[in-house]
Structure 1
């Protein structure tokens, strides 16, 4: 089967528009794109799937780009149309971000994550700090009073993994459309009770990771949930698992071993629930070093 010829084509945009978007293919036939300094690739995964990967300032023609130029896993892609949508979304984000006029400033401030090595000024009283290991926002006292009480941090510090979304929710005009969408998702997933209290709504199944986790734990409180798994050396074609009631851990928690056919062992969002009617208790020799010589 012949490989598609490498090609590139600029999206029709006004001359001088920022950022320019370019799509093309590598010599290996991988669909790629470039938005300013950021590069994207639709990389193949297992079972015919694809995922989004990114690169930075690849200084060669697209035909010469290689898979090793890209890193990270930014989510699964359904098809080429989904890839192009992700690229367009990033272009929109970069365009809006430039228009916001954020400014890099020097900083050596003490933060909850260590000494600041630099910061970005979003607006007066809204500063995002970077440190050697982590980072996040600091709000002035006046700005922090505007944060809803159910989400407010007493010291005005909001870490970069999830807490940043509280800042974006409070001051949406300082963030891009993409960032606002991410912030909404983060608040719903991390603080569903706060979201419901602020907006007077009830999040339905599938709308909040945390609410779904609670429902899963309540539904399977007495079921055996896997806490450790290993491909069985003793029983080919099976996965040997250690499970506990409700997936609980800690001293005194009862543990049991089960054998699960390898083809059935697909861990769900919150864990694998043992089906006692299908997955037998395993009391034979174990592939777990810590279980070798132990009774069931």
Structure 2
């Protein structure tokens, strides 16, 4: 059975249901979403576009986008509702689309969306991003300012939304804050006037890990050991350097213990035995 969520004010109403192969799905205007199981458990948010057939006829093959992990159906519905609020907010903003052939760092523009005076979002064949007029660009924080006024979509765009929040939606501002915090922690700290705490920024946490373990052996490659069942043979370098000139050492780690964290596995030399015997790594078999 398909259920329609009652609209709030001018919010577009999402339609929820089940696909023909049992996926929890939703339609929101031209956008389609699905809660797709991952191979090793959990779900991710799949997306599609302009699926005109009934929800009950949708299948996994209709979805090609990957919108990140989804914990459960409650979280899925919340994400779809968030997209509904996003669409409603966009409708209240004075954005307009035009044709464009402007030159950008990513190639000739194939179309432009004007977010406001001096704030233009360009689409090209290979990339997208914002271009700011000199007047607008002068207001971007020094730590994240581009002298040319171009800001690509992956991370740099967050500087634009941070400088001019009134022309962005609630969701876009939330995404910009998260992007800036994780990718450019120095800029985030300068803007917010405080240091980030452990766990608040992937980049800052990675920097701390590298500093804390600069003199430790950190695994850069691993393989199950054929000569030593139950163990994983690993190659490690100091600080986890991947430089070809870095000194490498091999260790044997119990396979049950070998679980890689977000920034690598640190060798405990008091427990993990250095190893120079027969290797399961093809590249090490001919080494002396």
| Structure 2 CA distance for aligned equivalents of residues 117 and 232 of structure 1 | 53
Given candidates 266, 281, 287, the residue that maps to 1:288 is 281
Deviation at 1:149, TM superposition (A): 2.0
Alignment of 1:190-229 (within 5 A): 190-229=183-222
| Structure 2 CA distance for aligned equivalents of residues 74 and 238 of structure 1 | 36
Aligned equivalent of 1:10: 4
Aligned equivalent of 1:24: 17
Aligned equivalent of 2:162: 169
Aligned equivalent of 2:43: 50
Deviation at 1:285, TM superposition (A): 2.7
Q: Is residue 260 of structure 1 aligned with residue 253 of structure 2?
A: yes
| Structure 2 contact 144–156 (Cα < 8 Å) conserved | no
User: Relative to structure 1, is the Cα distance of residues 216 and 98 closer, same or farther in structure 2, using a 3 angstrom cutoff?
Assistant: same
Deviation at 1:231, TM superposition (A): 4.0
Deviation at 1:232, TM superposition (A): 4.1
| Structure 1 CA distance for aligned equivalents of residues 272 and 24 of structure 2 | 43
Deviation at 1:141, TM superposition (A): 0.6
Alignment of 1:91-170 (within 5 A): 91-170=84-163
Q: Per the alignment, in what secondary structure is the counterpart of residue 229 of structure 1?
A: strand
TM-score, structure 1 as length reference: 0.89
Instruction: In structure 2, list runs of 5 or more residues that go unmatched.
Output: none
| Structure 2 CA distance for aligned equivalents of residues 58 and 92 of structure 1 | 21
Post-superposition CA distance 1:219-267 (Å, at most 9, x none): 1111211222334454444433221110113243111122334443332
| Structure 1 CA distance for aligned equivalents of residues 129 and 86 of structure 2 | 20
Aligned equivalent of 1:84: 77
Aligned equivalent of 1:189: 182
Q: Is residue 63 of structure 1 aligned with residue 56 of structure 2?
A: yes
| Structure 1 CA distance for aligned equivalents of residues 75 and 287 of structure 2 | 51
RMSD over aligned Cα atoms: 2.0
Q: Per the alignment, in what secondary structure is the counterpart of residue 75 of structure 1?
A: strand
Q: Per the alignment, in what secondary structure is the counterpart of residue 257 of structure 1?
A: strand
Q: Per the alignment, in what secondary structure is the counterpart of residue 29 of structure 1?
A: coil
| Structure 2 CA distance for aligned equivalents of residues 55 and 14 of structure 1 | 24
Deviation at 1:173, TM superposition (A): 1.0
Deviation at 1:289, TM superposition (A): 2.7
Q: Which moved more, 1:89-98 or 1:261-270?
A: 261-270
Q: Per the alignment, in what secondary structure is the counterpart of residue 278 of structure 2?
A: coil
Post-superposition CA distance 1:182-201 (Å, at most 9, x none): 10011111222222222222
Q: Which moved more, 1:181-190 or 1:262-271?
A: 262-271
Q: Per the alignment, in what secondary structure is the counterpart of residue 242 of structure 1?
A: strand
Post-superposition CA distance 1:27-70 (Å, at most 9, x none): 33321111111111112224542222111122221112111212
When the two structures are aligned, how many residues end up with a matched partner?
288
Post-superposition CA distance 1:103-152 (Å, at most 9, x none): 22212222112222222111111111122222211100111111122222
| Structure 1 CA distance for aligned equivalents of residues 256 and 94 of structure 2 | 52
| Structure 1 CA distance for aligned equivalents of residues 41 and 146 of structure 2 | 45
Instruction: In structure 1, list runs of 5 or more residues that go unmatched.
Output: 1-6
